[in-house]
Amino acid sequence: MAEAGEVGKRAGGEERMNMNAEQILEKLKESLGNALLTYEIKEYTMGVRRKRTLYEIWAEIDKSAFRKAVETIFNIDYPHLHFITGEDTGGDVIKMIYSFGIYHGHPGGEISITLKFDLPKSELVLPTITDLMIGAETNEREIREMLGVEFEGLKNKRHLFLPDDWPEGKYPWRRDEHGVDDMVKYMHKSVKEIRKKGEGNA
């Protein structure tokens, strides 16, 4: 159990009670209903002389409920976006992972909420969250170029890390025909190996 009843002063200046991990999970269940597929509260004990327990919520949701889940989190507390990433295991779906942290600024009280959902490769479109958090633009632009996921409502769609003349339809994190394995032959070989083989001429 997280320390329930901790009074916190938030960015707006108003005081309100912080919810604990279970209460947050209840709130997510309430707003998502059946779209909340599986969930888990992970507990980690940290420290040597003064043990502390940290809580993380990991939830698997249905793709359709993504925006609602994010809005629910924003209604609880203005979160900090830790990261957005995705995993392509080579199948028909990309597993998207969004990680938020809420109640930062409370010693030992930050609760991390990780949302995971399958996004079918036939329809790689997600609503943007930049209207809620402008700073998420960087994350969405990265996911767009690395995985080929389109964000509806994202204003700046230029490449972030990849060069402007990057070939279309190539996404470095994909493990299917859109991947880049044929482009990066030498990234995990030693220079000696490459020279011995004598390949790689244009």
Partner 1 sequence: MPKTAYYIPVGPIHPALKEPIRVEAEIEGEKVVKVDVKRGFAHRGIEYMGMKRNAIQTLYLSERICGICSISHPYAFVVAAEKALGIEAPPRAQYIRPIIAELERIHSHLLWLGVIAHEMGFDSLLFWIWKGREKVLDILELLTGNRINYSVFMIGGVRRDLKESHIKALKDMITYYWEFTEKMKEIMLSDPVYKARTRGVAQLSKELALKLNVVGPTARAAGLRMDIRQDMPYDAYADIDVRAVVPQDIVGEARGDAYDITMVRIYEIEQSLDIIEYCVDNLPEGKILAIPNYVALLAKIRRTKGEAIGAHEAPRGEVVHYLKFDGRDGPSVWKVIAPSYNNINSWAPLLLGAEVADIPIVVAYIDPCMCCNDRVALLKTPEGKVLGYEYIHKKAVEKTKRIEREVKK
As measured in angstroms, the least distance from the Cβ of 142 to partner 1 is 8
DSSP for the chain, written as a single string: ---TT-EEE-TTS-EEEPP-HHHHHHHHHHHHGGGEEEEEEEEEEE-SSS-EEEEEEEEEE-GGGHHHHHHHHHHHS--EEEEEEEEE-SSSEEEEEEEEEESTTSTTT-EEEEEEEEEEGGG-EEE--TTT-TTHHHHHHHHHHHH--EEET-S--S-SSS-TTPPTT--TT--STTS-TTT-TTTTS-HHHHHHHT----
Contact 147, 174 (CB under 8 A): yes
CB of 33 to partner 1, least distance (A): 26
Q: Give the residue with the Cβ less far from partner 1, 7 or 49.
A: 49
Q: How many CB atoms lie within 10 A of CB 54?
A: 17
CB of 120 to partner 1, least distance (A): 19
Output 34 or 51, the one with its CB closest to partner 1.
51
* Nearest residue (CB) to partner 1, 36 versus 86: 86
- In the complex, the smallest distance separating the C-beta of residue 78 from partner 1, rounded to whole angstroms, is 6
Nearer to partner 1 among residue 165 and residue 177 (C-beta) = 165
Binding site for partner 1 (CB under 8 A): 11, 44, 46-52, 54, 56, 78, 80-83, 85, 87, 97, 99, 101, 103-110, 112, 114, 133-138, 158-163, 165-166, 172-173, 180, 183-188, 194-195, 198-202
- Residue 31 or 85: the one with the smaller Cβ distance to partner 1 is 85
Query: Nearest distance from residue 28's CB to partner 1, in Å?
Result: 18
